[in-house]
Amino acid sequence: MSGADHIHALPLREHVYERLQELLIARTLGPGDHLVEERLAAELGVSRGPVREALQRLHRDGWITLRPRQGAFVNQPTRQQVEEFFEAREVVERSAAELAAQRCTPEDAAALLGICDEADADWARGVPAQQMAGHTARFHRTVMLCARNHLLLEFGEQLSQRSRWFFAPLVSSIAPRAWAEHREVAELIAAGRPGEAAAAMRLHVEQSRDSYLDTQLVEDTPPEPVAFRRTRAPSGSRAGDAPRARRARA
Amino acid sequence: MSGADHIHALPLREHVYERLQELLIARTLGPGDHLVEERLAAELGVSRGPVREALQRLHRDGWITLRPRQGAFVNQPTRQQVEEFFEAREVVERSAAELAAQRCTPEDAAALLGICDEADADWARGVPAQQMAGHTARFHRTVMLCARNHLLLEFGEQLSQRSRWFFAPLVSSIAPRAWAEHREVAELIAAGRPGEAAAAMRLHVEQSRDSYLDTQLVEDTPPEPVAFRRTRAPSGSRAGDAPRARRARA
DNA sequence: GTTCCACGGATCGTTAACAGTAGACAAGAT
DNA sequence: ATCTTGTCTACTGTTAACGATCCGTGGAAC
Domain with CATH 1.10.10.10 in chain B: 14-74
Q: pLDDT (tens digit, 9 = 90+) per residue, B161-179? A: 889 888 888 888 899 999 9
Facing residues of B78 across strands? B219
When CB atoms are compared, the residue of B57, B152, B159 closest to A91 is B152
A179-207, pLDDT tens digit by residue? 999 999 999 999 999 999 999 999 999 99
- Give the pLDDT score at B225: 34
CA distance B203 to B209: 10
Amino acid (1-letter code) at residue A152: L
Q: Is the CB of A237 under 7 A from strand C?
A: no
| DSSP per-residue codes, chain B | --S--S---S-HHHHHHHHHHHHHHTTSS-TT-EE-HHHHHHHHTS-HHHHHHHHHHHHHTTSEEEETTTEEEE---BHHHHHHHHHHHHHHHHHHHHHHHHH--HHHHHHHHHHHHHHHHHHHHT--HHHHHHHHHHHHHHHHHHTT-HHHHHHHHHHHHHHHHHHGGGHHHHHHHHHHHHHHHHHHHHTT-HHHHHHHHHHHHHHHHHHHHHTT--B---SS-------S--SS---TT--SS--S--
Are the beta carbons of A155 and B155 separated by less than 8 Å?
Answer: yes
Q: What is the pLDDT of residue B130?
A: 85
Q: Which of B65, B91, B149 to substitute to test the interface with A, most A CBs within 10 Å?
A: B91
Contact list, B151 vs chain A (CB under 8 Å): 62, 84-85, 87-88, 159
User: From the C1' of C15, which residue's alpha carbon is nearest?
Assistant: A47
* Residue B25 C-alpha, separation from nearest chain A C-alpha, in angstroms: 20
Encode pLDDT of A145-185 as tens digits.
Answer: 999 999 999 999 989 988 988 888 888 889 999 999 999 99
Give Cβ neighbours of residue B171 (< 8 Å, ≥ 6 apart). B129, B130, B132, B133, B136
- Using a 10 angstrom Cβ sphere, with 0-12 exposed, 13-18 middle and 19 or more buried, the burial of residue B226 is middle
* Comparison of pLDDT for A91 and B27, the residue scoring more: A91
**Nearest CA among A167, A149, A47, A134 for reference residue A97:** A149
* Substitution target from A10, A65, A91 for chain B, most B beta carbons within 10 A: A91
Contact by Cβ (8 Å): B216, B100: no
- Amino acid of residue A66: L
Closest nucleotide C1' to the C-alpha of A228? C23
Separation between the CA of B175 and the C1’ of C22 (whole angstroms): 47
Decide: CB of B35 under 7 A of nucleic strand C. yes
Query: Residue B234 CA to C5 C1' — how many Å?
Result: 20
Chain B nearest-CA distance from A91, in A, is 7
Q: How far apart are the first and last CA of chain B?
A: 15
Average pLDDT over residues A7-11: 56
Instruction: Say which residues have a Cβ less than 8 Å from residue B49's Cβ, sequence separation at least 6.
Output: A49
Coil/strand/helix, residue A71: strand
Q: Which residues of B touch A (CB under 8 A)?
A: 11, 49, 52-53, 56-57, 60, 62, 68, 81, 84-85, 87-88, 91-92, 95, 99, 148-152, 155, 159
Q: CB count, 10 Å around CB of A224?
A: 9
Residue B110 identity: A
CB atoms within 10 A of CB A38: 10
∠ CA A109-A114-A117, rounded to 5°: 135
Residues 6+ apart with CB under 8 A from B57: A56, A60, B13, B17
B155, B158, B161: best to mutate for the A interface, most A CBs within 10 A: B155
- Is the Cβ pair A149, B88 closer than 8 Å? yes
pLDDT at B219: 56
Question: Do B22 and B54 meet the contact criterion of CB atoms below 8 Å apart?
Answer: no
The DSSP annotation for B47-83 comes to: -HHHHHHHHHHHHHTTSEEEETTTEEEE---BHHHHH
**Total beta-carbon pairs less than 8 A apart between chain A and chain B:** 57
- What whole-number distance in Å separates Cα of residue B131 and Cα of residue B120? 12
Nearest to A88 among B49, B81, B151 (CB): B151
Task: Report the mean per-residue pLDDT for chain A.
Answer: 83
Cα–Cα separations (whole angstroms), residue B108 to A71, B121, B143, B202: 34, 20, 9, 20
Nucleotides of chain C within 7 Å of a protein C-beta? Answer: 10-17, 20-26
Q: Which numeric CATH code is attached to A14-74?
A: 1.10.10.10
Indicate the fold that domain A79-214 takes in CATH: Four Helix Bundle (Hemerythrin (Met), subunit A) (1.20.120)
d(CA A64, CA A76): 9
d(CA B135, CA B119): 6
Predicted pLDDT of residue B169: 84
A11, A52, A84 ranked by CB distance to B151: nearest: A84
3-state secondary structure of A64: strand
Q: In angstroms, rounded to a whole number, what is the distance separating the alpha carbons of residues B48 and B141?
A: 31
Q: Which nucleotide is nearest to B230 (CA to C1')?
A: D24
Check if the beta carbon of residue B104 is closer than 8 Å to that of residue B212. no
Distance from CA(B38) to C1'(C5), angstroms, rounded: 32
Reduce the DSSP state of residue A78 to 3 states and report it: strand
Give the number of other Cβ atoms within 10 Å of residue B250's Cβ.
4
User: In chain A, pLDDT over 70 holds for what percent of residues?
Assistant: 82
Question: Chain B: nearest CA to A148, how far in angstroms?
Answer: 8
Q: Compute the Cα dihedral for A7, A12, A17, A23 and give only its sign.
A: positive
Distance A172 CA to C28 C1' (A): 60
Distance in Å from D24's C1' to B221's CA comes to 25
Longest alpha-carbon distance in chain B: 69
Q: Give ranges for CATH 1.20.120.530 in chain A.
A: 79-214
| Chunked mean pLDDT (size 10), chain B, 250 residues | 44 89 90 92 91 92 88 88 94 98 97 97 93 94 96 92 87 92 98 98 96 71 36 30 35
CB A88 to CB B56 under 8 A?
Answer: no
**Tens digits of residue pLDDT in A99-115:** 999 999 999 999 999 99
**CB-closest option in A53, A84, A88 to B56:** A53
Q: Is the CB of A230 under 7 A from strand C?
A: yes
For residue B79, the model assigns a pLDDT of 87
* Alpha helices in chain A, H assignment, sequence order: 12-25, 37-44, 48-60, 79-103, 106-125, 129-146, 150-167, 171-190, 194-214
